[in-house]
Structure 1
């Protein structure tokens, strides 16, 4: 079932979300100082491409550095990526088939706002 959901997700929203995250990663990697945010954007972008069967969990040991990094991230790129998830989620919720995908988009909003201090693991 998760493979079917991932294929539908990829066609309807995953590819476009992936492109948004990769654009953010590219912009962040231009400056040496913002490379950690670029890596985080690329990691979350790959997750946004094929999310079903995996989940985002808090990384043990993430502390004040991750919090400060997330504040900078929200100002630089997080807000427009979160907006991308919200708009895509609303558009997907218009149809009955798209409702689970829209809900999945809404679940990705917190991750798009605060990617540092989180890791992606396989769901058991």
Structure 2
């Protein structure tokens, strides 16, 4: 079932979300100071293109630097990626088939706002 949902996700919203995260990652890597944010963006892009069967968990070792990095991330790129998830989720919830995909988009909003201090793991 996860594979079927991932294929539908890829066609309906995964490619656009992936492109948004990759663009944010490239922009973050242009500035030397924000390279860790670019790496986090690429990691979340990998999750945003194929999310079903995986989940995001908080790292217990993240600390003050993750918080400060997330503040910079929200200012530079997080708010428009979160907006992309919200708009895509609302559009997907228009149809019955798209409701699970819309809910998955809404679950990605916190990750798009604060990617540092998070880890992507398999559910199994």
**TM-score between both structures, scaled by the size of structure 1:** 0.99
CA-to-partner distance for each residue in 1:64-92, whole Å, 9 max, x for gaps?
A: 11111101100000000000000000000
Q: Secondary structure at the match of 1:95?
A: coil
Question: What is the deviation of 1:54?
Answer: 0.4
Question: What is the deviation of 1:46?
Answer: 0.7
Question: Could you tell me which residue of structure 2 aligns to residue 20 of structure 1?
Answer: 20
Which range moves more in the overlay, 60-69 or 96-105? Answer: 60-69
Question: Could you tell me which residue of structure 2 aligns to residue 116 of structure 1?
Answer: 116
Distance 1:61 1:30 in 2: 27
Aligned length: 124
**Do structure 1's residue 68 and structure 2's residue 54 form an aligned pair?**
no
Q: Secondary structure at the match of 1:120?
A: strand
Question: What is the deviation of 1:31?
Answer: 1.1
Gaps of 5+ in 1: none
Q: Secondary structure at the match of 2:95?
A: coil
**Do structure 1's residue 87 and structure 2's residue 87 form an aligned pair?**
yes
Question: What is the deviation of 1:26?
Answer: 0.5
Question: Could you tell me which residue of structure 1 aligns to residue 33 of structure 2?
Answer: 33
Distance 1:26 1:64 in 2: 24
Superposition CA RMSD, Å? 0.4
CA-to-partner distance for each residue in 1:7-60, whole Å, 9 max, x for gaps?
A: 000000000000000000000001111100000000001100000000000012
